[in-house]
Structure 1
Amino acid sequence: MNALPFHVVTLTHPGWEEALACAKRLPGDALPELRLDLFPEADPEALVDALRRRCLVTCRRVSEGGRWPDEDPEGRLTHLAKAVKGRPAWLDLEWDLPVPEEIQAARTHVRLLRSIHVPPGVFDLEARLQRLPEGEAFKWVGWADRLEDNARLRPALAWARDRGLALSAFLMGPKGIPSRALQGAWGGAFTYAAPDDGPAAAPGQLPLATLQAWRCARLHPGHGLCGVIGDPVLHSRGPAFHNPRFQRAFKDLLYLPLACGEAGEAVAALEALGVLGLSITAPLKLDLPQALGLEGPLNTLWRRAPGDPWQGANTDAEAFGQALSSLVPGPVLLLGAGGVARTSRASLEAAGRPVLQVSRQRPVTPGEVAAFGPVGLVQATSLGMAPEDPAPFGDLLEAARPSARWAVEWIYKEDTAFALWAREAGLALVEGSALFEAQAEAQSRRFIEGCGGAL
C-alpha cells in the first residue's frame, strides 16, 4: 500500500461527474479525498470503484464542518463500512472512535488516517500525540484566533517528523494559512488543498495550484518566511508576484498572506513565526512600524535573521515618485487620509506640486475644487476594494473634470469606479496595477538581497 501523498485534495464539487473528472486530472502527489457526506445519495462502494481505489474516504460530521448529522453516528459508520468494501487506499476515522469490526477486518488493504477537529480555543495536540490511536497517519485540526497561533504547531510537527510519524497539524481560518502552507517545512507529512475547479472545504483551505506554485511540498526547515500583512490580504497579488522571483533567484524564501489588522498581534506574530520580510498594507502602514520603533508610513520591512533589527522602506513612495515624474505638473486633488494618502502627499510636496487634500474628516466643497483647478487627481482611499464600491467624492470629481489632465488610482484591482470615471473623462490614467508592479519589484530586490536564515 502506498504512503499518503503530500497533497490531499477534497472533492467539493456540486456533482459527482465534476468531482470524478477532477480526481482523474490530479497528479501523482495529490490524493483525492472522497467526502461521502457531500454525496449522500450515491453508493459509497461505487464511488470508490470509480476512483479506482485511489482515494481517502471520509464522512464528515456537521460538528466537524461536514454534512452528516451528528445525531446519526451508526448510519455514518455504516456508510463508511460500505465504502470499505470498495477497498479504498485510505480511510479517515475520527481519533477517539474505536475501529469498527468491518473496518478492522479490512486493515490488510486499507490504511487508517485518524483525525480530530478541536473547537476554537482548544490546543491539545501535544497531549494527543502521547496517546495515539491505531492508525498509519494522523491529522489534528484547530482554529487560528491569532496569527501567532500557527507557531504553536512547529514543535509537535518537528517531533513527529523526527520519529517518522505521518502527521498533519494545521489551523483553520484566514489566520491559519501559514500552518497549511508550511507543513512540509515544519515537519508535516501532508496537507489539504481545495480543487482548482471547486470551492474550499474549510476556511483557509488553499487551491492545489496555489500550493504547487508555492512549491510547498519542497519546503525545508531552512526556508525563510516573508509575507503581506494587513486586513484584508487574501486577495493580494503579492504571493504570485514574489514567490516566482524568489524561485528564480534560488532564494529559500516563501511569501504568504498574513491576515492581521492589529499592530500588537502583528508584532507577536513576526517574532513567533520568525518572519524575515514584510509587505505592509492597510490598516498597519502607520501602526506597525511605530510599534516596532520605526518611523512610518512604511510598506516594506526586512531583516537578515530573526532577532536582527528591522530595516524599512516605502516602496509605494518610490513607485509613485517614478509615475509622477512623467505627469503634467500642476496642482493635485488628493482623495483620502490614510497611510497611502500620506505617502502621496509627501511625494507631491517634495515635487513642488500644490495639494488640496480631501477626506471625510477634511471635507471641501465643489466650489473650492473648481477654484483650485487641479490638473491631477490621486485616488488614495480604500474605495474600490469591493466590486460594488463607488468612485469617491463624485461631486468633487465632476468639479475637477474641466481642469484635470491625469489621474492615479492606488487600488490595483481592474476597473474600479474611479478608474472607469477617469477613462470616461479622457484623463491619462496611472493604474493601480502599474504602481503595484513598480513597488513590488523594489520590495523583491530588498527581500532577496536582505533576508536570510531559517524559519
Structure 2
Amino acid sequence: MICVTLGRGRHRTLLEEWGQAAEAGAELVELRIDCLRSEINLKRLLTDRRTPIVFTVRRGADGGLWRGNEEKRLLLLREAIVTGVEYVDLELDIAKSIPRFGKTKRIVSYHNFRETPADLDTIAEQAREANADVVKIATMAKSVADASRILEAAARSSEKVPTVGIAMGPLGVFTRVLGRKFGAPFTFAGFNPERIFAPGMLQFDELRRDYGYERINAQTEVYAVLGDPIAHSLSPAVHNAAFQKLGINAVYVPLLIPNGKLRDSLDLLSWLDIKGMSVTIPHKEAILPMLRQADGAVDRLKACNTVVIKDKVWTGHNTDYHAAMGVLEEAYGGATSDEVSVLMDKQVLILGAGGVARTIAYGLSRRGAGVAITNRDDERAARVAAEVGCRHISWAARASTPCDILINGTPVGMHPNVDESPVPPAAFRAGMVVFDTIYHPENTMFLKLARERECRTISGVDMFVRQAALQFTLFTGKNAPDDLMRQVVARKLGVTRD
C-alpha cells in the first residue's frame, strides 16, 4: 500500500487535498497535523474521514513543523487514538508513555535527518519492544552503504514486525520502492509536487504508475539503472510499464552511484540479487572490469550501457550503438540484402566528441560512411577522430561542411535551454537526414530548423526507445512492447515539459 502524506496550513485546504487524494485512489493518508497553523480542530478533521489515516504530529527535531509544547502534542495523539484513527505515529522516545487503546494501530518511528546510525538493528528492536504494530525507521543516507544498510535492517526487522525502512535523500530513492519486496506494509509518498516532506520522497502517481508499487512482492526480480545524475531518467517508467504489459514480475529502480564508487556500491547491493542493469554516465567504462563476457560493440567501443546477470555471470552489451545504427539505417530503408549497409558512402558530420558521438562515429565508420567530427574543443575532436579512424573539422566550419547526415551529439538544445541549436539555419539543406540524440525535449530547435528546410529528421526519442527495447529483450528474452514504451516517454516528457 502507498501512504500519501498530506500537510497544509489550513484545515479547509487539508480537507480539500485529502478529498483529492481519495479520488485519485489513495487508500491510506498520513495527516501531518503539525503543518496546521491555526488551533487544531480534531472533530472537524476526523468526523468524516475520506480514507483510513495515519495521525502524525511531527516535532521539529524529527523533521516536522510542530510549534506548540510537548504536553499539548501528546494530548493530541491520545485524543486521536480515542477517536479511533486507524494508525497513530509515535516517536520511539515517547511510544511507551502512550498506552495502546481500542483498534488504533501503533507506528513506532525513528527519524534522523542528519545521518544513518550504525545501530539500526538496536533501534528496530527498541521500536518493536514499544508495542509497535509497524516499525518505521527513516534516516539520511550519505552513501549507498547507508541506503543498503537501512533496507537490510528493515528486511530483518520485518521478519518479526512489519517494518518500513527509508533511506532519505537521492541515494536512497530505491529503498522507497523495494521496501515492499522485503516486508514493508506500505511506503510514503507525496501528493502535491510543491510540498516535499522528506528528501527523496516520490509522488503517489509516480510510485503507482511508474513503478507499479502495488505489484511488488517477495518474488519480484530487481533491475536497475546506474548513474550520476539519475533522478530524471525515463528508464524506470519505460521498463516498468513493459514488465507490467507482459505480466513479468519485476521492478526497475534508479540507483544513484557517485563516480568512483561503482564497484564498492554494487558489492554492497549484491544481496538484492539484481538481474540486469542499464549503465549511464559516468559508469560506462568503469563497469568493464566487472564483466565476464561482452559483446563485440562493448569490446570495440570500450563502453557498456547494459549488463545482464545470469547465474552470477555478468555480460555486457552496448544497445546505444545498435540503436543509433538502427535508426539511421531505417531512415534509408534498412540494410541491403547483401548485408552492405545503406549508410555506405554517406557523408556524415557529427557535432560533439563525447561518448554518444564517439559511439555513433565508430558505427558509421564501420559501415563505410565518410565521417567527420567537430567540437568546440578542437583538440578533443582530433583525439576522438583519431581513435575512431575518421577525420575532424574545426567548429567554425560546421555550418559550411556539406554532408548527407548531420548528427547532434552535444547537449545544446536540451531542456531547459530549448531555444538553442548547435548550428545555424544555414547548416541545413533539403533532403539531409538530421538526427538529434537529445530526447528532452523531443522536438528540439535543431530538429525544428531541419524540418523547416525539408530535411528528414530522427529524434532522440527514436534512439532512446530503440535502445530501451533492445535492453528489455536482453533482460527478459521477450520482444519489447515498443509502442507502449514510446507512449510512456511521450507521457513523461509531456508531464515535465514547461
Same fold, TM-score > 0.5, yes or no: yes
Q: How does 1:412-431 map to 2 (within 5 A)?
A: 412-414=439-441, 415-431=443-459
User: Is the Cα–Cα contact under 8 Å of residues 45 and 84 in structure 1 kept in the other structure?
Assistant: no
Counterparts in 2 of 1:117 and 1:423: CA distance versus 1, 3 Å: farther
Counterparts in 2 of 1:27 and 1:361: CA distance versus 1, 3 Å: same
Instruction: State the Cα distance separating 1:34 from its structure 2 match.
Output: 0.4
| Equivalent position amino acid for 1:341 in 2 | A
Instruction: State the Cα distance separating 1:389 from its structure 2 match.
Output: 5.4
| Equivalent position amino acid for 1:63 in 2 | A
TM-score (ref. length: structure 1): 0.85
| Equivalent position amino acid for 1:58 in 2 | T
Instruction: State the Cα distance separating 1:145 from its structure 2 match.
Output: 2.2
Instruction: State the Cα distance separating 1:189 from its structure 2 match.
Output: 2.3
Give unpaired runs (5+ residues) of structure 1. 1-5, 451-455
Q: How many residues align?
A: 435
Counterpart-to-counterpart distance in 2, 1:266 and 1:72: 48
**CA RMSD between the two structures:** 2.9
Instruction: State the Cα distance separating 1:79 from its structure 2 match.
Output: 4.1
Residue deviations 1:339-372 (CA, integer Å, cap 9, x gap): 2111111112122222221234327546533553
1:401 paired with 2:428, answer yes
Q: How does 1:3-42 map to 2 (within 5 A)?
A: 6-12=1-7, 15-25=13-23, 27=25, 30-41=27-38, 42=40
Counterparts in 2 of 1:314 and 1:120: CA distance versus 1, 3 Å: same
Match of 1:386?
Answer: 415
1:168 paired with 2:164, answer yes
2:469 aligned residue (441, 444, 447): 441
Secondary structure of 1:303's aligned partner: strand
Counterpart-to-counterpart distance in 2, 1:371 and 1:49: 73
Residue deviations 1:101-145 (CA, integer Å, cap 9, x gap): xx53x7124332111112314243201133232332210011222
User: Is the Cα–Cα contact under 8 Å of residues 61 and 67 in structure 1 kept in the other structure?
Assistant: yes
TM-score (ref. length: structure 2): 0.78
User: Is the Cα–Cα contact under 8 Å of residues 373 and 403 in structure 1 kept in the other structure?
Assistant: no
Select the structure with the greater relative contact order (CA < 8 A; seq sep ≥ 6). Answer: 1
User: Is the Cα–Cα contact under 8 Å of residues 12 and 195 in structure 1 kept in the other structure?
Assistant: no
Secondary structure of 2:47's aligned partner: helix
Instruction: State the Cα distance separating 1:445 from its structure 2 match.
Output: 0.6
| Equivalent position amino acid for 2:351 in 1 | L
Residue deviations 1:17-69 (CA, integer Å, cap 9, x gap): 432212432647x3110001222324233212232682111112233332224
Counterparts in 2 of 1:409 and 1:7: CA distance versus 1, 3 Å: same
1:302 paired with 2:308, answer yes
Counterparts in 2 of 1:54 and 1:327: CA distance versus 1, 3 Å: closer
| Equivalent position amino acid for 2:356 in 1 | V
User: Is the Cα–Cα contact under 8 Å of residues 422 and 446 in structure 2 kept in the other structure?
Assistant: no
Counterpart-to-counterpart distance in 1, 2:152 and 2:368: 55
1:234 paired with 2:238, answer no
| Equivalent position amino acid for 1:368 in 2 | A
Match of 1:135?
Answer: 132
Instruction: State the Cα distance separating 1:404 from its structure 2 match.
Output: 7.4
1:243 paired with 2:237, answer no
- Percent pairwise identity: 28
Counterpart-to-counterpart distance in 1, 2:60 and 2:263: 33
2:42 aligned residue (41, 44, 47): 44
Match of 2:322?
Answer: 318
| Equivalent position amino acid for 2:14 in 1 | W
Match of 1:149?
Answer: 146
Q: How does 1:122-271 map to 2 (within 5 A)?
A: 122-131=117-126, 132-163=129-160, 165-195=161-191, 199-213=195-209, 214-265=211-262, 268-269=265-266, 271=270
Instruction: State the Cα distance separating 1:205 from its structure 2 match.
Output: 1.8
Match of 1:57?
Answer: 55
Residue deviations 1:370-410 (CA, integer Å, cap 9, x gap): 5531232211223444313553534xx44523477221111
Counterpart-to-counterpart distance in 1, 2:414 and 2:198: 24
Instruction: State the Cα distance separating 1:186 from its structure 2 match.
Output: 1.4
Residue deviations 1:318-353 (CA, integer Å, cap 9, x gap): 111112114466322212222211111111212222
User: Is the Cα–Cα contact under 8 Å of residues 96 and 133 in structure 1 kept in the other structure?
Assistant: no
Match of 1:372?
Answer: 401
Counterparts in 2 of 1:161 and 1:82: CA distance versus 1, 3 Å: closer
1:91 paired with 2:88, answer yes
Match of 2:276?
Answer: 277
Comparing 324-333 with 312-321, which one deviates more in the overlay? 324-333
Match of 1:453?
Answer: none
User: Is the Cα–Cα contact under 8 Å of residues 37 and 66 in structure 1 kept in the other structure?
Assistant: yes
Secondary structure of 1:310's aligned partner: strand
Counterparts in 2 of 1:370 and 1:141: CA distance versus 1, 3 Å: closer
User: Is the Cα–Cα contact under 8 Å of residues 376 and 404 in structure 1 kept in the other structure?
Assistant: no
Counterpart-to-counterpart distance in 1, 2:465 and 2:134: 43
Instruction: State the Cα distance separating 1:301 from its structure 2 match.
Output: 0.9
Counterpart-to-counterpart distance in 1, 2:313 and 2:354: 26
Give unpaired runs (5+ residues) of structure 2. 333-342, 382-392, 479-498
Counterpart-to-counterpart distance in 2, 1:162 and 1:81: 29
User: Is the Cα–Cα contact under 8 Å of residues 22 and 50 in structure 2 kept in the other structure?
Assistant: no
Secondary structure of 1:112's aligned partner: strand
User: Is the Cα–Cα contact under 8 Å of residues 200 and 207 in structure 1 kept in the other structure?
Assistant: no
